Amino acid sequence: MNSPLFTSLSSEAHGAVSSVMTTIFSIPNSSSTSSIIPLLNITDNTTNDSLSNKKQISPSTLMADVNNRLLKRKLLHNRLYIITYIMCFLGLLGILLMIINNEIIFLNINDKDRYICWFIKLIITITTIILVLLVFYYHRLDLDLYAVSNSFNHWRIGLTTTRIFLILFEAFICMIHPMPLYFPFIRNFKSNNSTTFNSTLPSHITIDIALGLPMFARLYLICRFMLFNSYLVHNAFSQSIGSLNQVSVNFYFLLKTYIQQWPTRCLSVFCILLFIISSWSLRACNYQSTIQHISMLDAMWLFIVTFTTVGYGDLTPATYCERSVATIIAMIGVLSTALLISVLAQKLELSRSEKYVHNFVLNIKLAKERKNHAANVVKFVVKLWYLKRKHRPISNEYIKAQRELVRSIHFNQQLKQDQKKLIDSCIGMPELIVMQRDSNDKIRENTQTLSIMKVKVDKIEEKLSDMDHAMINIQNTLHLVLNKISK
């Protein structure tokens, strides 16, 4: 039926599909927010006028839009790389200045050192403010990149509640730092007031340590810097393969690949960083103005005995902060020991070729021993037959030969079982894959052979049917001839 109503409905459906495809493949424009509406609001409210006003995009325009989107994506990725580099530098600079500030505090503070500490805290505050602003700017660019990659017209489409929480949590981590709580240049007090100021100084030192230790959480910026410097992120082919297989190329994926490729190197770098950071944290938490401060070497020794869960007892945590750090070190030590055992097991495991050589040599050795025991079985059977024929079945020599025969039979059976186990151990996943491939090839060949045989059988059936028709025709002809002859 080619009614006018059916023709109009089909033209409207075609226009709607064209508008949807145009919206999907068009490049989002920051100055226009109405291009996303056809994608989200194709409902009963759309009229024939709005559908007829949509212009179809030609293939050349579509390719130009895709090219512009790719260029914009590359530009955003380069900006993210630069911002990540600056954030990593500022984060590490703040940690370094925090360590210098606390080391100056650990010494006997005088007026000159107090000025230096105030200036260092001021620099840390300035770098922290810049870092927090860069955190928000980084996530703004990341949302733009997400919008461009998914053909969204506005970056707020990708702003979910979980993402907002993660952004605020990251900003909170980067915001923690020791702040300049007092201005050291105002010195309008007398010598007795100076003693009062020094009595309040340990509280400020405690606050500096409490606000300084969480700054080590900024080391996550190194992980982000590693992610943007990885070839898996820069390589478009790996990104395409990951998208097709629904695998996100993030830092977790990158970490697993690095551990798979270089397990010893990754574990060594992690343990060294943990050793340095945790040793200094133990030294910082142990600081008290009234007692002798622990040295860095003693802190390293305390880390070693805590990390290895030995605990000799010559050095013990004295403060709650130090006990908390020691607890974290002990837990990480247990996990690192498990990782170290797995890495050693992987390194000590024989390769495929080494396993083949080793199993081949063991198989030859077992075959020789089995032949020797088989020869012993024959020898002792002949000896028993000879002794029995000499009418000495109860002699010691006969009993000894019988014992050796049973022992040789038992060893022969045990060697046979060992050979079977050795053959089973040689079969791994590569061998199973080869066997499966061979079986699939044979099944395919058998299937092709069966199909060919089926065709041949069909042809034979056709020829037999033709022969049957020919025989029927000959029989009818003979009947006609016989009828004519009989007349």
Last residue of a domain, one of 348, 376, 410: 348
Last residue of a domain, one of 306, 327, 348: 348
Considering the domain architecture, whether residues 141 and 221 belong to the same structural domain is answered as yes
Q: From CA 346, how far away is CA 193, in angstroms rounded?
A: 66
Considering the domain architecture, whether residues 44 and 87 belong to the same structural domain is answered as no
Is 482 within the bounds of a domain?
no
Is 247 within the bounds of a domain?
yes
Considering the domain architecture, whether residues 89 and 44 belong to the same structural domain is answered as no
Q: Which two tokens stand for residue 139?
A: 């996530």
Is 147 within 8 Å of 28 (Cβ atoms)? yes
State the burial class of residue 353 (Cβ atoms within 10 Å of its Cβ: 0-12, 13-18, 19+): exposed
Q: From CA 359, how far away is CA 348, in angstroms rounded?
A: 16
H-helix or E-strand containing 349? none
Is 386 within the bounds of a domain?
yes
| 3-state per-residue secondary structure call for 116-185 | HHHHHHHHHHHHHHHHHHHHHHHHHHHHHHHHHHCCCCCHHHHCCHHHHHHHHHHHHHHHCCCCCCCCCC
Is 338 within the bounds of a domain?
yes
Considering the domain architecture, whether residues 402 and 294 belong to the same structural domain is answered as no
Q: From CA 374, how far away is CA 139, in angstroms rounded?
A: 77
Helix (H, G, I), strand (E, B) or coil at 315: coil
Closest by CA to 210, choosing from 321, 95, 294, 123, is 321
Considering the domain architecture, whether residues 40 and 74 belong to the same structural domain is answered as no
Query: What CATH number has the domain bearing residue 134?
Result: 1.10.287.70
Q: Which two tokens stand for residue 52?
A: 């007829």
Helix (H, G, I), strand (E, B) or coil at 389: helix
Considering the domain architecture, whether residues 227 and 317 belong to the same structural domain is answered as yes
Last residue of a domain, one of 317, 348, 379: 348
Q: At what angle do helices 320-348 and 263-285 cross, to 10 degrees?
A: 170
Considering the domain architecture, whether residues 258 and 312 belong to the same structural domain is answered as yes
Is 263 within the bounds of a domain?
yes
The DSSP letter of residue 308 is: T
Residue 391's region, left for phi above 0, alpha for psi from -120 to 50, else beta, is left
Is 47 within the bounds of a domain?
yes
Q: From CA 51, how far away is CA 48, in angstroms rounded?
A: 5
Indicate if the alpha-carbon torsion angle 66, 72, 76, 82 is positive or negative.
positive
Closest by CA to 164, choosing from 195, 140, 129, is 140
| 3-state per-residue secondary structure call for 453-465 | HHHHHHHHHHHHH
One pLDDT digit (tens) per residue for the chain, 487 residues: 344 433 443 444 444 434 433 333 333 333 333 333 333 343 344 444 443 444 455 677 777 877 888 888 889 888 999 999 999 999 999 999 999 988 888 876 665 667 888 889 999 999 999 999 999 999 999 999 888 888 888 888 888 899 999 999 999 999 999 888 766 555 444 344 443 334 333 334 478 888 889 999 999 999 999 888 888 777 777 777 777 777 777 888 888 888 888 888 888 899 999 999 999 999 888 877 656 678 889 889 999 999 988 888 888 888 888 888 889 999 999 988 888 888 788 777 777 777 778 788 888 888 898 899 899 889 888 888 888 887 766 778 888 888 888 898 998 888 888 888 887 777 767 777 888 888 888 999 999 999 999 999 999 999 998 898 999 989 888 888 888 888 7
Considering the domain architecture, whether residues 314 and 406 belong to the same structural domain is answered as no
Parent domain of 173: 70-185+201-348
In terms of residues, how long is the chain?
487
Which amino acid is present at 467? M
Considering the domain architecture, whether residues 244 and 365 belong to the same structural domain is answered as no
Residue 486 CA, chain-centre distance (Å), reads 98
Considering the domain architecture, whether residues 100 and 123 belong to the same structural domain is answered as yes
Is 470 within the bounds of a domain?
no
Looking at the structure of the chain, the number of domains it has is 3
Considering the domain architecture, whether residues 263 and 374 belong to the same structural domain is answered as no
pTM summary value: 0.63
Considering the domain architecture, whether residues 278 and 414 belong to the same structural domain is answered as no
